[in-house]
Amino acid sequence: MALAKSTKVFLSRPTPSFIENFKSHVKETGPPETFHGLDHSRPVSHDGAEILAKFGIDRLKRPDRDCAPCPICSPNDPKFLEGCLVWYPKDQAIRAIGRECSAKIDANWHRRQRQFKLREEEEATAEFLFNNLHEAPFSISELKKQIDAAILHRKIWGEFRKRCPEICQDLRTAMKSGTLVARRSRDKSLNGVVRGDKYFNENIGAVRGQTAVKSNFTHHTKFKEHLRALQLIELGADKEETGLAVCEMSVPEMKTVEKAIKRGRRAITELTRLNSDFEGFFAEGNLRRINKWASYLPPDSRFTLEVSRNGSTLIARSVYSSFEPISLKQLKQSSPLKISPPD
């Protein structure tokens, strides 16, 4: 079979259309060696060679039903049915070679790709630190604030659970889906007969406070580790000074600092969400829905919850206790706008 002569010089990587045309040619005709533009000489070196595409050959489409020759190991005899299209920058040529000969190129190529990716990651890490390391003091302050709030929440709910364990247990069971559903008795008709099922479920609505009723209030402890990590890397709020410090760091040190900053930010986001959910439990609209649901409980389980007018006390009334005040004074001081207005 006559080999197509190479008339092209590839100073740069070939276009995607060239690669697609080659793959179509092999798929439709069988012989890769007849595609115009390929070089069939043996390369001096594989250095810098880049695999462009992998391909398979249908033996039945080849004129002699044989394998294709490989310019590296078998330029004049049948050799392969699976191969690679390879660009050799040093030769400024494109070759179609067998899979076995391409294995070394493939390994070298992937190694270079990994090295390139590592360099990109190192540069991205350095750029991230240049832009963010000076904000560590702010993150430390904010995370400490959220941790302190979570500790306060644990104290408040612990007191509520101690004084009103039955109410807390009922809320824990009812609020686990995030929506309160009341089991109600149907009204009787004029003749005193209930039509259909005696009971039906009424959807009272979505409620906030899962963090309160379901949490064991240990979530703040796991974030203390992130706070300590931030405190270890804190170098001040001057961007220029922290940038100079980054220049003196080793790659492992930069990775450690980057991880501390990102974990600290995620901790702030997560803890802020949990704290906001806890405080949302005491919102007027939320308590209104809880009280409506509680009014349909069996008589010996009914209760009401109310925040005092000044927002400093949670008042619980039930058959177990006519008046159980729970202090919210510290909560009101730390977030005065979150617990009093209706939602």
Read off the pLDDT of each residue in 11-28 and give the average, rounded to a whole number: 93
Helix (H) or strand (E) holding 173: helix 165-174
Cβ distance 69 to 100 under 8 Å?
no
Tokens in use for 337? Answer: 């706008």
Three-state SS letters, 92-135: CEEEEEEHHHHHHHHHHHHHHHHHHHHHHHHHHHHHHHHHHHHH
Q: State residue 209 phi and psi, 5-degree precision.
A: 115, 20
pTM for this model (two decimals) = 0.64
Read off the pLDDT of each residue in 179-185 and give the average, rounded to a whole number: 86
Domain ranges in the chain?
16-91, 127-334
Tokens in use for 140? Answer: 């430390």
Torsion of CA 167, 171, 173, 174, to 10 degrees: 130
Q: What is the pLDDT of residues 3-19, one digit of tens each?
A: 665 567 899 989 999 99
Distances (CA, A) of 282 to 56, 208, 222, 308, 342: 68, 9, 25, 11, 10
Distances (CA, A) of 210 to 205, 227, 295: 14, 25, 20
Examine the pLDDT at 249 and tell me if it is beyond 90: yes
Residue 332 pLDDT:
65
Sheet holding 50-56, edge to edge: 50-56, 82-88, 93-98
Read off the pLDDT of each residue in 247-263 and give the average, rounded to a whole number: 96
Residue 178 pLDDT:
86
Among residues 62, 69, 66, 50, the alpha carbon closest in space to that of 25 is found at 62
Residue 88 and residue 108: Cα distance in Å, rounded?
Answer: 13
Residue 104 pLDDT:
75
Tokens in use for 153? Answer: 């929440």
Average pLDDT across the chain, whole number: 87
Residue 323 pLDDT:
79
Which residues are paired to 69 by β-bridges?
78
| Burial environment of residue 118 by CB neighbours within 10 A (0 to 12, 13 to 18, 19 or more) | exposed
Confidence of residue 341 (pLDDT cuts 50, 70, 90): very low
Three-state SS letters, 182-209: EEEECCCCCCCCCCCCCEEEEEEEECCC
Instruction: Pick from 40-54, 111-125, 282-296 the range whose average pLDDT is largest.
Output: 282-296
Distances (CA, A) of 62 to 3, 24, 85: 13, 14, 18
Angle between helices 251-280 and 219-233 (to 10 degrees): 140
Among residues 47, 37, 50, the alpha carbon closest in space to that of 109 is found at 50
Examine the pLDDT at 179 and tell me if it is beyond 50: yes
Residue 192 pLDDT:
47
Residue 251 pLDDT:
94
Examine the pLDDT at 152 and tell me if it is beyond 50: yes
Residue 197 pLDDT:
66
Examine the pLDDT at 311 and tell me if it is beyond 90: no
Confidence of residue 194 (pLDDT cuts 50, 70, 90): very low
Confidence of residue 196 (pLDDT cuts 50, 70, 90): low
Confidence of residue 338 (pLDDT cuts 50, 70, 90): very low
Confidence of residue 33 (pLDDT cuts 50, 70, 90): very high
Pick from 174-178, 182-186, 292-296: least confident: 182-186
Instruction: Decide: helix, strand or coil at residue 35.
Output: coil
Pick from 12-16, 44-48, 51-55: least confident: 44-48
Residue 129 and residue 26: Cα distance in Å, rounded?
Answer: 49
Site of tokens 């993150």: 139
